[in-house]
Amino acid sequence: MGPNWCLLPPELLQFIAEKATSLADYIRFRAVCRPWRSASSPRPRHLPIQVPWLMLPYNSYGIGDSTRLFYDLSASKIHRIHLPETRRAQVCGSSYGWLVLHNGQVTSLFNPITRATISLPPYTVPPSDLGIAPLNVQNAAIFLGDCCINNSALCSTHNFSVGKAILTSSPMDTGCMVIVHTSSLWELAFCKIGDERWTVIQYHGVGPTDWYDVCDLSYINGVLYTLNPDGFVTMYNLISPSKTELDCEPISSNIYLAQGVDGDVLLIYYHGITYDDGILGREIEHTVYKLSNDGEPTWIKVNDVGKNVFFVGGGCQAFSLSSDHLQLPGSAKCVYYDSRRTEREQGYLSWYNHKIKLGKLDNETVTDISGDLGSFQINGCWLKSLWLTPSLL
């Protein structure tokens, strides 16, 4: 009779479990038997940052089943995960392994690996006002008659949607904030985990389309940066409430905000493959710029991005991880991105073919690393792809 591995001492099992560096291996370890599961923490803090997965588009109107597709870069495979929590919900952000789900008047945080959910304040409760660009009640009432007013704070009760949401840290950390950009009168707001109401950062409404003034958000070194479609960046200090518009020339549209591994404020500009008279000029489809505060703020093209490894999704999402933390060969100085190409059009609907490409920023080459991931719509109710860093925390 062979040894009974279930009878290993708990302290030895814990020691073995803490040697695992792969989230998948750690989950397999805990699934062996009850003693192994009891000896290992369900929320291990020793695991390093995991290689991101790409969450592929799905229909947020609830048409079809609740199976979501995630492409795992490290395993080069698609995981099919049943997530009924995402049915009829919009995914408006992904940070620290958590998805930000929005459904009607409800926004919540959801970890697709642990299935944990954290509720956020309802939007029906009038928000507080941080004091940056105070709410303009008179102008707002012109465009939205059905609202509640409380101490000069407005709360839209209809047609409230979240365009983008970010987390300032892991929800397990004290002081974690969720920052949202909405299509309501609030525009920008935040709450801390456990708050009973949102706090408005800015409202400067002059019309119902003002929410397009922000296409990307990033929280870097205690400062919120917003990016508009014309490439202009605004800084919001949430500690000593103030707003600063960066006086520098915009680069172009199709750009993303990101924090570098050294804390730099970066813009990733997508310009596509370049051609000169029909001849391929260069393959690399992204250029990186860094915000320089030496004198007048300006964007400087970065030729050497160091240990930054960028991940660019389909919904104004970009972030950087250090190549020291990723078990991906040759991953330094590169961009992993969802490359979408129109496959076919049917009336007003367009179907896009998805594949993950690796762009090397140092030698300006592009490699297809995933093959065809499938064809999806990117219209109306179909959500765009985004990256998820799987976590058990």
Q: Quote the pLDDT of residue 125.
A: 82
By the 8 A CB rule, do 29 and 20 touch? yes
Helix, strand or coil, per DSSP, at residue 104:
coil
- Its pTM stands at 0.86
C-alpha to C-alpha distance for 252 and 246, rounded to whole angstroms: 15
Helix, strand or coil, per DSSP, at residue 4:
coil
By the 8 A CB rule, do 150 and 137 touch? no
Helix, strand or coil, per DSSP, at residue 36:
helix
C-alpha to C-alpha distance for 348 and 283, rounded to whole angstroms: 30
Chain segment 224-235, per-residue pLDDT in tens:
999 887 778 888
By the 8 A CB rule, do 330 and 338 touch? no
Place of tokens 């456990």: 194
H/E segment holding residue 346: strand 334-346
C-alpha to C-alpha distance for 200 and 186, rounded to whole angstroms: 6
Give me the phi and psi of 116, to 5 degrees please. -75, 145
Residue 145: closest CA among 131, 134, 159: 159
Q: Quote the pLDDT of residue 165.
A: 93
Burial of 346 (0-12, 13-18, 19+ CB in 10 A): exposed
Q: Quote the pLDDT of residue 139.
A: 43
Q: Along the 393 residues of the chain, how does pLDDT read in single tens digits?
A: 467 788 889 999 999 999 999 999 999 999 999 999 999 999 999 999 999 999 988 876 666 678 899 999 988 999 999 999 998 888 989 999 999 999 877 899 999 999 999 999 988 888 888 877 554 444 444 333 334 444 434 454 455 788 889 999 999 988 899 999 987 667 889 999 999 999 988 765 444 444 457 888 999 988 999 988 777 888 898 888 888 888 676 666 678 899 999 999 999 988 766 545 544 445 677 889 998 877 777 888 888 898 999 999 876 789 999 988 887 766 778 899 888 776 666 655 666 778 898 888 888 788 888 888 877 766 555 677 899 999 998
